[in-house]
Structure 1
């Protein structure tokens, strides 16, 4: 009889051993003690920490440019946007899916895709698609429409976050401020008011703070250190 392996829970299980007795009938002409097999329960680290911190990093980079350099190109954040905010968050999301985190996986993969797209638009090979717009006003309108729908999607997730299993204030905080950030960016594109972009930088900082804090709380929980402020219902 071969050992059976059981997958661990999504995040927080510790290693455990399960003993399986081999109770099958032994041949009558053999006197043999029952054989015991030890199946080690496989565990895995919490992918949400990576997802939250990658999300927080690119959000705080975006917030810095929106707040302090609203008229300056932010293309310098391409490497972090593509690899950390995009690819790393993608991986964390699919790992979360694999271990049963439907909502968390959806959020991480969604914003991983968002940041992959944002980063690709910083490359000249892809940003040339904006040449389809004959005037800056048309390009700004298209950019505003793009962000307004992402804001609507984020507010949709924000509403769901109040009802999902494992939801908490920090999750609500992150999604709420991300939605506000995207909405303000859309309004800035529609109106041309740079002050709205600067305010979106502030809300981006608040969203990033929530993401870093939530990731820290989940990491500390694995070390049996409880952080109660905002983390638990």
Structure 2
């Protein structure tokens, strides 16, 4: 790649958030069972190529541009999706699957805590991802379909948040709510 080519800018971040959002939506909806005949296993191709490879490359471009947090988030989550996508057909115990999900839940928790200055949308996306993976992991250990479904819903909502953030960046929509005045009767002029 030519050194004069700009890489890792807000367009890369937007692409990464779109990839994360779409993959989380497919993964989450697959776990909810809300669409008859659609399971999380149906999201494997999307997870492998969009969530895994595209997100990983977007993360590398973010690192190149000097964005350590976004680079870490995209490369780490790209590794998660690639690993999940390539291992989906493997015969593993429910406890091994639960441990995998719980370890990645810790990664998502680190992202949620690290995004404290990045706004409510980023914190919400990574916080919901943490809770979703946590419940999916615990559901594997407890053999609980109910926990898995709730975890799936949380992952799907995290996907919607990531998707909205990326779409808002493209469409120049607001990503924060306007702040209200500090008290009753306070106006803009004092």
Q: TM-score, normalised to structure 1's length?
A: 0.68
- The corresponding residue for 2:165 is 214
After superposition, the CA RMSD in angstroms is 2.6
- The corresponding residue for 1:156 is 110
The answer on whether the counterparts of 2:136 and 2:152 sit within 8 Å (CA) in structure 1 is no
The answer on whether the counterparts of 1:93 and 1:104 sit within 8 Å (CA) in structure 2 is yes
Q: SS at 1:229's partner residue? A: coil
- The corresponding residue for 2:15 is 50
User: How many correspondences in the alignment?
Assistant: 176
Task: For residue 159 of structure 1, report the CA deviation from its aligned partner.
Answer: 0.9
Moved over 6 A (4+): 69-72
Report Cα offsets for 1:18-39 as digits up to 9, x if no partner.
Answer: xxxxxxxxxxxxxxxxxxxxxx
Distance of aligned partners of 1:226 and 1:193 in 2 relative to their CA distance in 1, 3 Å threshold? closer
- The corresponding residue for 1:11 is 9
Larger RCO (CA within 8 A; separation ≥ 6): 2
Matched, 1:77 2:43: yes
Unaligned runs of 5+ in 1: 13-45, 131-138
Distance of aligned partners of 1:11 and 1:114 in 2 relative to their CA distance in 1, 3 Å threshold? same
Matched, 1:96 2:62: yes
**In 1, Cα distance between equivalents of 2:53 and 2:177:** 28
Distance of aligned partners of 1:104 and 1:195 in 2 relative to their CA distance in 1, 3 Å threshold? same
Task: For residue 229 of structure 1, report the CA deviation from its aligned partner.
Answer: 2.8
Report Cα offsets for 1:54-109 as digits up to 9, x if no partner.
Answer: 11111111111111169975333222111111111011111111111110010000
- The corresponding residue for 2:29 is 64
* Greater Cα radius of gyration, structure 1 or 2: 1
The answer on whether the counterparts of 1:169 and 1:230 sit within 8 Å (CA) in structure 2 is no
- The corresponding residue for 2:141 is 190
Please identify which structure carries the higher strand content. Answer: 1
